[in-house]
Chain A
């Protein structure tokens, strides 16, 4: 997955950059919620039991984003790739069927 693949805004890809701003915001917020949950779930599922325990303890101790990032990047192979894939798949999901309308 290339980073360039996810640089284009999904709203643009969906041809929705012309719709009212309020509606755009609603869609982005809702989609972001879904992505946050999905990335979190995939992340936890990628960890083995030992690392999950470590992760759970870490979360309780209020880590910094950098600490958490370092932890996950070191425990999950190609973490960036994983995130990119999730995002890209999500975007593809969203694009389904709308191409007929464009």
Chain B
């Protein structure tokens, strides 16, 4: 056995050895990779090449991959769970009555959010995350954007209260800086000299050309910065309030402080602007000493500063001691007088006051809850904050309006001073021009005009209601500083044109200057020059108005034609027998033409002509040009023009028919460009809602009535300017506009499916859609940005308070107008031009957000 087993064993060993030898014999080395390969025979006897090392590596990699995948899956599951929890917590956070849990929940959210990030780090998934996000964005862009917004919000809430407060302070400084920069820029743009250049047209034409657009664009940018900083500040305030869980009373205090601060700042800007624009010998003295005065005050100890404030009746105080002597009670004129004398003279003012009754009052105030505060007691946090947000929004909008008012008012002051200084008394006309300050694309004036466009009102009317805007105490007008000798006698005031300019005689009574914006006393007498015709004369006169000069050719044609029709209707009134037969040296008195308010209304209305209307004008122009080319030497009279355009006229519904087309002058036709007559198409969308004097739009009239021109504006018809406002009549408003606008809507909608869809939306949906269209636009042109600002301002000026007070009924027409705005946005932003930038998009997103808030406020308040 032993020998058998031994043999067997040896045999096996032998076999093994042989096999090993065989294996060894087939082992080869790859010189390039340095790896060993084995060549073996399989069961069938075929030879195979094996790389054990590679196999092992592959297996090991496989194992690692499986392990990693397992971890990744687990972590991903964890992440999903955490995100789910976050959402649940956020939902819980939004529910009313959990104020006490708020901080805890927020903390929990932050912790979980941190865990999510930790997991993401563990996974080393930065790259993967990006890819995922990219995929998600492609699939669900809105959801992803929303999620990003949520994350951003949470991160922002991660700041401490102290950090938030600092941020608010910083943002407020930014608001103040931007406001100042914006107003400075505006005043720089609207220097008196620039305006006068605009007024005297041809004298300064070279200087004027090319400058306006750039500066207006700049101004719009400054305005956008200012608007954005206000929004940022508001957001920060609301975030801070949310996190702090402020009480109803505190929220109301914040709203009040916000409003008061806005009022104080605006009053300050108003006065500063007044000071900086002082003219005359003492302007330097006033600027210097007012600055010194404030600096001196600022350097005083706080107690003294407060005491002086108490002397003015700003802070509660008892007896005040100024200059060592008791002078009376806080808030008395004597105290105020002493206080200011002390500051002006720089005398040390020893002031002290007792806080008599202060504590008592404070306690009383604390005890007494306002009606609103009581209401807020039963509201959720978000509801309260929404109310606060509404107040802040109103403050912002109010500030907008006040800024416009300040601008215009001061420009008017400047106008008088300068007018008198150069010996020309054209106050009414120039003042009217000044009242349009910034109207060359400035977002501010567009803002001002926005509501008017909505209402079909002239741009020169101010939007805010008188009751809502504090009347700034009027300083004595600057003309009072001007020596009377510098003012020409009414009948003597005369300005002779240059060689190239028209000769204009214009007089106005001195009283007209003193009475500021009361128009109607100037005369416009034109002597016909060689090459003149009525068309050219009107054009020249209108060119003196910047609001006209900024119009495109088609719109100018419309305005001139309408004015010319006025003359044609009664030539004798203007010293003419035949508007087609002007004689060189003949004097035409166009005073009445320009004293009426029609030119301004025309200019305002013509801005709203739509593309088709503009195209029609230009087509007609071409048609007349064609006639002239084919009829050389033949005179193009008014009648002839009528005839040529008759066909077109018949198919159009005309509300304000320019009766006579462009005329030529006998014997001196230097037909530069045949001008044509324009007839607006009344079935266009803008016609009813946006054109002034549109027939039958009672909404327009109602809204017009709501807009009180707080200061008398220069209008061409003094009587009209003084007419009592048209009061809003809810009963009629609820019927007429709806009936009228429905067919109008149908007509307009048939052209735009998009618009038609919008008609079925509620206000908020319409605004949302508007935002989407902006985001979806391919490109934005500079001009379109400017135009869109106008639309934006219409939305912004869609005042909540007017809706709430029943002054603006939510009618289908209003809805339609909003929808129309959306279309305009789309059209304006949707074509080729400048590439879209993130900055631009962000700006618009913010604006849309604000529009949504406004609309939201309207909806919620209406529901309430």
Interface residues of A (CB under 8 A from B): 3, 6-12, 14-19, 23-25, 27-42, 44-46, 49, 52, 56, 59, 62-66, 68-69, 73, 79-81, 83-87, 89-98, 100-102
Does B341 sit at the interface, judged by CB under 8 A? Answer: yes
| Contact (Cβ within 8 A) A97 B289 | no
Interface residues of B (CB under 8 A from A): 249, 252-253, 255-257, 259-261, 263-265, 267-268, 271-272, 274-275, 281-282, 285-286, 289-290, 293-294, 297-298, 302, 305-306, 308-310, 312-317, 322-323, 329-334, 336-338, 340-347, 358, 361-362, 365-366, 370, 372, 391, 394-395, 398, 468-473, 475-476, 480-481, 483
| Contact (Cβ within 8 A) A9 B313 | yes
Find chain B residues with CB under 8 A from A84 CB: 333, 336
| Contact (Cβ within 8 A) B253 A19 | yes
| Contact (Cβ within 8 A) A59 B341 | no
Q: Say how far B635's CB is from chain A's closest CB, in angstroms.
A: 59
Find chain A residues with CB under 8 A from B334 CB: 80
Q: Say how far A33's CB is from chain B's closest CB, in angstroms.
A: 5
Q: Say how far B360's CB is from chain A's closest CB, in angstroms.
A: 10
Known contacts: A27-B257, A32-B308, A59-B344. The answer to whether A90 contacts B298 by CB under 8 A is: no
| Contact (Cβ within 8 A) A30 B264 | yes
| Contact (Cβ within 8 A) B476 A46 | yes
| Assembly CA distance A85 to B265 (angstroms) | 20
Find chain A residues with CB under 8 A from B272 CB: 37
Find chain B residues with CB under 8 A from A41 CB: 271, 274-275, 286, 290, 475
| Contact (Cβ within 8 A) B336 A87 | yes
Q: Which of A6, A14, A34, A73 is in CB contact (< 8 Å) with B256?
A: A14
Q: Say how far A2's CB is from chain B's closest CB, in angstroms.
A: 10
| Contact (Cβ within 8 A) B361 A12 | yes
Which residue of chain A is the closest to B311 with respect to CB atoms? Answer: A32
Which residue of chain B is the closest to A89 with respect to CB atoms? Answer: B473
Known contacts: A33-B298, A38-B271. The answer to whether A44 contacts B286 by CB under 8 A is: yes
User: Could you list some 29 contacts between A and B, CB below 8 A?
Assistant: A6-B332, A7-B329, A8-B313, A16-B260, A18-B362, A18-B365, A27-B261, A28-B314, A29-B305, A30-B261, A30-B268, A35-B312, A36-B308, A38-B473, A40-B344, A41-B286, A44-B286, A49-B483, A52-B285, A59-B289, A64-B345, A68-B341, A80-B334, A81-B333, A87-B312, A93-B473, A98-B256, A102-B252, A102-B256
| Assembly CA distance A29 to B271 (angstroms) | 16
Q: Which secondary structure characterizes the binding site on chain A? A: helix
Which residue of chain B is the closest to A16 with respect to CB atoms? Answer: B256
| Contact (Cβ within 8 A) A44 B282 | yes
Find chain A residues with CB under 8 A from B333 CB: 3, 6, 80-81, 83-84
| Contact (Cβ within 8 A) B309 A28 | yes
Q: Which of A17, A62, A80 is in CB contact (< 8 Å) with B345?
A: A62
| Assembly CA distance A37 to B312 (angstroms) | 13
Q: Say how far B327's CB is from chain A's closest CB, in angstroms.
A: 10
Q: Which of A15, A46, A96 is in CB contact (< 8 Å) with B470?
A: A96
Q: Say how far A45's CB is from chain B's closest CB, in angstroms.
A: 5
| Assembly CA distance A66 to B347 (angstroms) | 10
7 further A-B pairs in the complex, CB-CB below 8 A; given A12-B316, A28-B315, A93-B470: A40-B290, A62-B346, A68-B344, A87-B313, A94-B260, A97-B263, A101-B391
Q: Say how far B137's CB is from chain A's closest CB, in angstroms.
A: 43
Q: Say how far B702's CB is from chain A's closest CB, in angstroms.
A: 23
| Assembly CA distance A73 to B338 (angstroms) | 12
Find chain A residues with CB under 8 A from B361 CB: 12, 17
Q: Which of B255, B294, B472 is in CB contact (< 8 Å) with A33?
A: B294
